[in-house]
Amino acid sequence: MKEFLLLLKKGNKSALLAAIVNAVIAIIKGIGFSMTGNVALFAETMHSAADTANQLFVFSGSALSKKAPTDRFPNGFGRLVNLVLLGAVLIVGIMAYETIVEGIHHIIHPTHSSGLTITLVILAASTVLESFVLYKAMKEINHELGIQPTGFAVVTQAMANMGKAKPATKLVFLEDTVATLGGLLAMAAVIIAYFTPFHQAEGIASVIIGLLMFMVVGKVFLDNAAGVIGESDEEMEDKIGEMVMNDPDVKDIQALTVVKEGEDLHVELEIELDPSLTVAQADDIKDRLEEKIMQENGVTDVIIELDEDDGIQKWAEDHKKSDLIEK
């Protein structure tokens, strides 16, 4: 039990904050829907409930993935966060389906909702809270990447680097982006349905919110399926490769792979050295490179193999071919 509580302290803070805020929002929206019968408010209630459950899964998975390797699982639990997220998106998918079905029903059989003021107050307050959580997720993305922008640059930098964020933080960012947009859309639909004869607006908003939820499901599923299989990080491979090749004692790189396992990066490197070096000298080079690579963000372990220089520049040639293919 003590170990479990210690692991929870290492869980993704953005996911925990998002889960707490969304739980409060879901309860408020649910009460509002029971009082008004507003379909757009129902869609937002389902959305917030799905986000709450999802982000609790995310928090738990990110915490448990920090568990140290055991004899039974010597490679650790890094990919557990990917597995948990694959399960979590099923919840969002079910909620999205229910939201779309209810929206279609309201489009076919439109009704006039009551309680304009209370509906707008609830949606406005919820949207403000969602945008707060979204901003915190943006700051977390920047923090994970070691950058500290100020002002509006927090938003632009987070959006530009979202793909590099940890799986849990990325999910919170995507969900709360959709939640914020969904809140604004729902408010617009409520106003249109109340002041015009176009009562189907709420149903249309519900369908759009459900489709946006499905977009998050698709994105998160594809990202984490790749993580479960073991996806390489090409950008980090290039960065580490350049760092290693700049070392004066390294003649060439035979092989380099950087594999993502959840939030961790595992590096395997095979380098060529001058065959005249002593074992002690080669070992010092290996230790120096391990220390440098371990300083990179997200790298948790490094395996380096040594080989003698064969006089053929494999790394430079391979990268020259890759650049030509990209061009």
Query: Under the phi-then-psi rule, with left for phi > 0, alpha for psi from -120 to 50, and beta for the rest, what region is 262?
Result: left
**Assigned token pair, 149:** 């922008």
Integer CA distances (angstroms), 202 to 122, 195, 267, in order: 15, 12, 51
Is the sign of the CA dihedral 218, 167, 164, 69 positive or negative? negative
pTM score: 0.70
Give how far Cα 93 sits from Cα of 22, 182, 223, Å.
17, 16, 16
pLDDT tens, the chain, 327 aa long: 566 667 767 777 778 888 888 899 889 888 888 888 877 788 788 878 877 887 888 788 778 777 777 888 777 777 777 788 787 778 788 888 888 988 898 899 887 777 788 888 988 988 898 898 889 889 888 888 888 888 888 889 988 888 778 777 887 888 888 888 988 998 999 899 888 889 889 889 889 988 988 888 888 788 777 777 777 888 888 889 999 999 999 999 988 999 887 677 889 999 999 989 998 999 999 999 999 999 888 788 899 999 998 888 888 666 654 553 444
Give CATH for domain 2-229.
1.20.1510.10
Alpha-carbon distance of 15 to 54, in angstroms, equals 9
Phi, psi (5° rounding) for residue 297? -60, 125
CA distance 61 to 77: 10
Sign of CA dihedral 294, 300, 306, 307: negative
Q: Map tokens 């390797």 to a residue.
A: 69
Domain ranges of the chain: 2-229, 234-326
How many Cα atoms occupy the beta-carbon half-sphere of 289 within 13 Å? 30
Say whether domain 234-326 belongs to CATH 3.40.50.150: no
